[in-house]
A and B are shown apart, each in its own frame.
Chain A
Amino acid sequence: SQKIEQNSEALNIQEGKTATLTCNYTNYSPAYLQWYRQDPGRGPVFLLLIRENEKEKRKERLKVTFDTTLKQSLFHITASQPADSATYLCALEPHDYKLSFGAGTTVTVRA
């Protein structure tokens, strides 16, 4: 069966450190992989998209890698700030225009 797994444990890190989140998938062949941020009581907000033929994508302090051989994406937040505290969701898009979401990883950045 198809499965998307994100870090099951919440991530607590010190301000200024790098947070690394993992998204592993099985029985998917995604054309695209996306990362979203969700704050409590709010809808998810799109952050980054990476295509299957791309290895890495950056946006400001965010970096995403995509390894289709390992079936894994890593999401890095560098120089983390308390404002980065949120739940981060990965989402896969196969070739059928629908997204499948992971359960999310909650990140807390301590000042």
Chain B
Amino acid sequence: DADVTQTPRNRITKTGKRIMLECSQTKGHDRMYWYRQDPGLGLRLIYYSFDVKDINKGEISDGYSVSRQAQAKFSLSLESAIPNQTALYFCATSDNKDRGRETQYFGPGTRLLVL
């Protein structure tokens, strides 16, 4: 089984709807991240969490919120989806005790289309 899983893998929604993307990991890592990927722009950090009680905004957090329900679970919510939130979303984990620093392990991604 995959170490980092994301659900759903694909989602189509309408403008104004609230949706939640979920991420689970079995790696036992404390740190979890949400990114979005757009063509030509690379991965951009939305939110990150260094442990269950720690939540931090990334560079593009407007319009998003997160919840760290447990060490293994980190959810991303779009409170009121808009078309420019159409993107590929990735969850990642890391453990800074692994290989020196901040090697990240990514989930398979969620492809979101907002109509």
A98 and B45 contact, CB distance less than 8 A? yes
Q: Complex Cα distance A31/B99, Å?
A: 14
A93 and B109 contact, CB distance less than 8 A? no
Classify chain B: how many residues form its interface, as a range: 20 to 34
Q: Complex Cα distance A34/B102, Å?
A: 9
A103 and B48 contact, CB distance less than 8 A? no
B96 and A97 contact, CB distance less than 8 A? yes
Q: Complex Cα distance A4/B44, Å?
A: 12
On chain A, the residues within 8 Å of B85 by CB distance are none
The total number of A-B Cβ pairs within 8 Å is 58
A43 and B108 contact, CB distance less than 8 A? yes
User: Contact partner of B103 among A34, A42, A101, CB < 8 A?
Assistant: A34
A45 and B106 contact, CB distance less than 8 A? yes
Q: Complex Cα distance A46/B41, Å?
A: 19
On chain B, the residues within 8 Å of A42 by CB distance are 108-109
Q: Complex Cα distance A100/B107, Å?
A: 17
Classify chain A: how many residues form its interface, as a range: 20 to 34
Rounded to whole Å, the gap between the CB of B85 and the closest CB of chain A is: 19
For chain B, residues 35 to 76, give those with C-beta under 8 angstroms from any C-beta of chain A: 35, 40-45, 48, 50, 58
For chain A, residues 77 to 100, give those with C-beta under 8 angstroms from any C-beta of chain B: 89, 91, 93, 97-100
If A4-B42, A103-B40, A104-B42 touch, whether A31 touches B101 (CB-CB below 8 Å) is: yes
* Of listed A41, A43, A89, A101, residue having the most chain B CB within 10 A: A43
Q: Complex Cα distance A34/B92, Å?
A: 15
Rounded to whole Å, the gap between the CB of A104 and the closest CB of chain B is: 6
Residue B77 interfacial (CB < 8 Å): no
Rounded to whole Å, the gap between the CB of B3 and the closest CB of chain A is: 11
For chain B, residues 3 to 21, give those with C-beta under 8 angstroms from any C-beta of chain A: 4
Q: Complex Cα distance A42/B44, Å?
A: 16
If A4-B42, A89-B43 touch, whether A99 touches B102 (CB-CB below 8 Å) is: yes
On chain B, the residues within 8 Å of A91 by CB distance are 104
On chain A, the residues within 8 Å of B103 by CB distance are 34, 46, 49
B92 and A51 contact, CB distance less than 8 A? no
Determine the residue in chain A with the shortest Cβ distance to B42.
A103
